[in-house]
C-alpha cells in the first residue's frame, strides 16, 4: 500500500529469554496483521491481561514484537467487506485482539470485521472503554444471574474482588437493578468508593473465605459474582442459598477449586462460567445495549482513571500488584 498511514503504538519487544522492553514506536499500517477492517483507535483500556502481555507473559502473548490492548474503541477508516462504513464508531473487545493480534495500544488496528460492534446510542467512545472487557464480563455475569431466576427478594448478592474493574461495574449494575449488593474487598480504604457505586454493605475478603474448609456454610447469598476463584469461590458456593446461582469469571486469588459436591446436591446451587473472549456477537450486542441504557453505571466517571501511553508504565506495575481501583482508560488521541 503506497503512502500507507503511520501511527504511534506501544511496542513490546523481546530482547533475550524472559527479557522484554516496551517503547512507543512509529508504525505503518502495513505492519499490522491481515484483516478487512481498519479502525483508528480513540480510546483503549488497561486490563490485567494487558499488563501480562506487556511484560511478556507466555500465557497471553508468545509472538513479539507486539502491541497489547484487548479493548479498543474508535472510528472506521476502511472496511473491505462493507460491513461498516468509514467514520462509523465501533467497539472491539476480546477475540484475539491484544493477545497475538496487535491491539488497542496502537492508534490503528486491523482486524476481522466480525470482531467489531457499532457503538450503541447512550455511550461515548470513552464511556465504552471505561466499561470495556470488564463491563462486558460484569454484564454477562449479571445477565446469567437474571436468567437463572435470581431475584432481589431472594437475598443479598455477593460481589467478590469488588474494587477491580469487573467487580466495580458488577456492583453498580446489580445495585441499580434493585439487588442488595454486598461487596467484598481487601481494600478497606475503598469502602466509601464501593458504597458510592451502590453497595449496601462492604465486607473484608477474609470474612468471605472464612470456613471454606467446612463441608457447607450457613446460607447467606441469593447469588454471587466471583472474580477471585480459589477458596473465596469455594466459600461463596458453600454459603449460597438453596437454588442460588454463582458466576465465575476470574482467578485473581487462584485458578484452583478445592470443592466438594455438597452445595450442588444438597442445595441445588448452580455454578456458571463466564467467558467474554469468545462470547457470540448477538450476546455481546445485547449486553452492550443494556450497558448503554438500563445497566449503564450512574457514576461511570468515578470508576475510570485516564492515562496516555506516555504515562502508562506506573499503571502497568500497579495493576500487576493489585493496586488499581476501578478501570483505567487509555487516551490514544493524546499520543
> Phi/psi of residue 16, each to 5°?
-165, 175
| Residue 3: predicted pLDDT | 65
The answer to whether residues 232 and 204 touch, using CB atoms and an 8 Å cutoff, is no
Which CATH class name applies to 133-273? alpha beta
Residue with cell 488499581: 324
* Nearest partner of 240 among 265, 210, 262, 220, judged by Cα: 220
- How big is the CA angle at 187 (ends 184 and 192), to the nearest 5 degrees? 80
Those residues of the chain that have pLDDT short of 70 are 1-3
| Residue 1: predicted pLDDT | 47
| Residue 110: predicted pLDDT | 98
pTM of the model: 0.94
| Residue 134: predicted pLDDT | 97
**Is residue 258 within a helix (H) or strand (E), and if so which, with residue range?**
none
Which CATH class name applies to 6-119+300-334? alpha beta
> Phi/psi of residue 255, each to 5°?
-85, -10
pLDDT digits (tens, 9 = 90+) for 78-112: 999 999 999 999 999 999 999 999 999 999 999 99
* Residue 265 CB coordination number (10 Å): 9
What's the first-to-final CA gap in the chain, in angstroms?
A: 24
Q: Structural domain boundaries of the chain?
A: 6-119+300-334, 133-273
Cα separation, 151 vs 173, in Å, equals 14
| Residue 49: predicted pLDDT | 95
Orientation angle between helical segments 281-291 and 125-147, nearest 10 degrees = 110
Amino acid at each position: 500500500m503506497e503512502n500507507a498511514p503511520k501511527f504511534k503504538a506501544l511496542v513490546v519487544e523481546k530482547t533475550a529469554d524472559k527479557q522484554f522492553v516496551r517503547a512507543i514506536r512509529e508504525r505503518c499500517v502495513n505492519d499490522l496483521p491481515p484483516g478487512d477492517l481498519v479502525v483508528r483507535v480513540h480510546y483503549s483500556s488497561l486490563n490485567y491481561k494487558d499488563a501480562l502481555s506487556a511484560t511478556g507473559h507466555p500465557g497471553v502473548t508468545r509472538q513479539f514484537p507486539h502491541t497489547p490492548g484487548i479493548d479498543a474503541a474508535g472510528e472506521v477508516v476502511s472496511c473491505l467487506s462493507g460491513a461498516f462504513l468509514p467514520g462509523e464508531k465501533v467497539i472491539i473487545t476480546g477475540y484475539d485482539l491484544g493477545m497475538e493480534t496487535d491491539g488497542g495500544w496502537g492508534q490503528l488496528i486491523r482486524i476481522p470485521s466480525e470482531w467489531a460492534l457499532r457503538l450503541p446510542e447512550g455511550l461515548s467512545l470513552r464511556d465504552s472503554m471505561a466499561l470495556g472487557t470488564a463491563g462486558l464480563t460484569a454484564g454477562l455475569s449479571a445477565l446469567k444471574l437474571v436468567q437463572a431466576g435470581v431475584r432481589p427478594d431472594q437475598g443479598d448478592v455477593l460481589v467478590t474482588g469488588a474494587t477491580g474493574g469487573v467487580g466495580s461495574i458488577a456492583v453498580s449494575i446489580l445495585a441499580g437493578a434493585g439487588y442488595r449488593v454486598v461487596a467484598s474487598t481487601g481494600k478497606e480504604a475503598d469502602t466509601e468508593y464501593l458504597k458510592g457505586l451502590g453497595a449496601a454493605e462492604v465486607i473484608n475478603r477474609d470474612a468471605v473465605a472464612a470456613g471454606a474448609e467446612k463441608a457447607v456454610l450457613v446460607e447467606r447469598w441469593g447469588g454471587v459474582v466471583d472474580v477471585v476463584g480459589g477458596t473465596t469461590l469455594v466459600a461463596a458456593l458453600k454459603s449460597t442459598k438453596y437454588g442460588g446461582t454463582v458466576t465465575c469469571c476470574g482467578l485473581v486469588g487462584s485458578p484452583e477449586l478445592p470443592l466438594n459436591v455438597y452445595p450442588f446436591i444438597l442445595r441445588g446451587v448452580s455454578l456458571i462460567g463466564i467467558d467474554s473472549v469468545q462470547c457470540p456477537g448477538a450476546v455481546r450486542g445485547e449486553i452492550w445495549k443494556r450497558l448503554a441504557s438500563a445497566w449503564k453505571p450512574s457514576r461511570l466517571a468515578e470508576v475510570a482513571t485516564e492515562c496516555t501511553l506516555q504515562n502508562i508504565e506506573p499503571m502497568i506495575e500497579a495493576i500487576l500488584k493489585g493496586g488499581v481501583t476501578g478501570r483505567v482508560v487509555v487516551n490514544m488521541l493524546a499520543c
